[in-house]
Amino acid sequence: QCPWWHRTALWGGWAGNTVLLFAVIVLGIWGRDSLSRPTCQRELADRTKIRCSQGDAGCKLCPSDWRLRGDKCYWVSTENKTWNKSRSDCAARGSQLLVIRDREELETLHNLTQSKTQLWVGLSHPSPEKAWTWLDGSQLDQTRLPVSGPAEGNSCGMMKGNRIHSQDCNSAHQWICQRD
């Protein structure tokens, strides 16, 4: 025969477990119902649309202060630095200065950066003997993306609106980084 307090503890344990089980069931039903409400579903769809491009197999997420366009993440600075310091800042963020592939990408980015007037991109012209070169080593095709302004030694590319302009690399401007 067990002491009376063993039986009391056993019944108390069973009662506590029963209350916990009931609470889990009620909270599970309540949580499921609240997630299926139309406003919650609509908000979830809106947030997914912001982060996911149409036709992608999945979603690409960008850091909170970056913007997703197509399959790349972009970050626009709010301060001014030289081209080399801007390049270093992008590298510290695990990215690079923007490399523009075609006019469509330039137009898309113009919509993203319309409040910014001048942004460094990853294009440089280190000496008069060399051609305009992107950071990835490829040469700029000026028939597709012409550069306006003089291409002197130590010139770097800058996005102004939906065009690319030549600028002295030592001048300070805002910049745009990209991450694949």
Residue 45 vs residue 144, higher pLDDT: 144
Domains in the chain: boundaries: 4-50, 64-179
Cα(125)–Cα(13) distance, integer angstroms? 78
- Lowest-pLDDT choice from 45-54, 63-72, 158-167: 45-54
How high is the pLDDT of residue 2? 80
Q: Residue 52 pLDDT more than 60?
A: no
pTM of the model: 0.66
Mean pLDDT computed over 87-97: 96
Handedness of CA 110, 140, 96, 46 (dihedral sign): positive
How high is the pLDDT of residue 46? 58
Cα(98)–Cα(84) distance, integer angstroms? 13
Question: Is 64-179 a CATH 1.10.357.10 domain?
Answer: no
Interval 97-139: pLDDT, tens: 999 988 888 887 877 776 667 899 999 987 777 889 999 999 9
Cα(74)–Cα(119) distance, integer angstroms? 12
Q: Residue 50 pLDDT more than 60?
A: no
